[in-house]
Amino acid sequence: MRRRKLKPYVLPTLMILAITGVIFGTAMLSNSLKNNNNDNYEEPTSYVDDSIIEEDQAVINETTKMINPYTDTTVTIGKNYYDYKADAETQEKSIIYHDNTYLQNSGTDFISANTFDVVAVLDGSVTDVKEDETLGKVVEIKHNNGYVSIYQSLSEVSVKKGDIITQGQVIGKSGTNELDKDIGNHLHFELYVNGQVVDPTLYLNKELETSENKE
């Protein structure tokens, strides 16, 4: 058998072709993998929650009307609260004369020919019930927002200390006392706001604002 001997230039040529094929195949495989990865690639999704829950605390301005301390339509004012800013004639009508002494009236006196029911001007709690030789039977009621109402010259009392009172509830009946005996049957009514005595007529039948937080 006769052997054929390769010519000197053939082997280098084959080696170059083999190397070229490997390089080309590697490039094709890499490109194919890249394309496949691109086909399956998904842009990352960002989830942003922009909702913000704010817990607001509502402030509600409520109004309550302070009613008259009586319901009888025959009741009128017999003596007004003494106002130091008023004119001399008005002040003179607000003076109480008792035991040879002139006193400034610290409330409003409501009068009627007949005994009448005395009612609470606002919701509240009874803080004092007493009987005074000069003032007669007295009831004190504490209300919200610094209001305190005092009812004097009562002939009867239908509540006791510690009772919870609703607006318009009957707490007693009008009567007479030694301090204002010249005006006969009446109710002496005083009102305090944050510890200061005030003219009741400036608050009766008026809307009183009461701000409350509602959670």
What per-residue confidence (pLDDT) applies to 193? 96
- Give CA–CA dist 154/151, Å, rounded: 7
For residue range 37-47, what is the model confidence (pLDDT) as tens digits? 555 545 544 43
What per-residue confidence (pLDDT) applies to 47? 39
pTM of the model: 0.69
- Give CA–CA dist 122/144, Å, rounded: 9
Most confident residue range from 15-19, 63-67, 172-176: 172-176
Amino acid identity of residue 131, one-letter, is: E
Residue 211 scores a pLDDT above 70: no
For residue range 117-133, what is the model confidence (pLDDT) as tens digits? 999 999 999 999 999 99
Residue 10 scores a pLDDT above 50: no
The tokens describing 150, both together, are 């005092």
Q: Give me the CATH topology for the region 60-214.
A: Glucose Permease (Domain IIA) (2.70.70)
Q: How many CB atoms lie within 10 A of CB 155?
A: 16
Residue 97 scores a pLDDT above 80: yes
H helices of the chain, in order, are 10-40, 88-92
What are the two backbone dihedrals, phi and then psi, of residue 155, each rounded to the nearest 5 degrees?
Answer: -90, -25
What per-residue confidence (pLDDT) applies to 52? 38
The tokens describing 164, both together, are 């919870």
**Residues 140/150, Cβ–Cβ less than 8 Å:** yes
What are the two backbone dihedrals, phi and then psi, of residue 3, each rounded to the nearest 5 degrees?
Answer: -85, 140
What mean pLDDT do residues 29-38 have? 52
In 3D space, the residue among 111, 189, 110, 108 whose CA is nearest the CA of residue 148 turns out to be: 189
Residue 5 scores a pLDDT above 80: no
Residue 73 scores a pLDDT above 50: yes
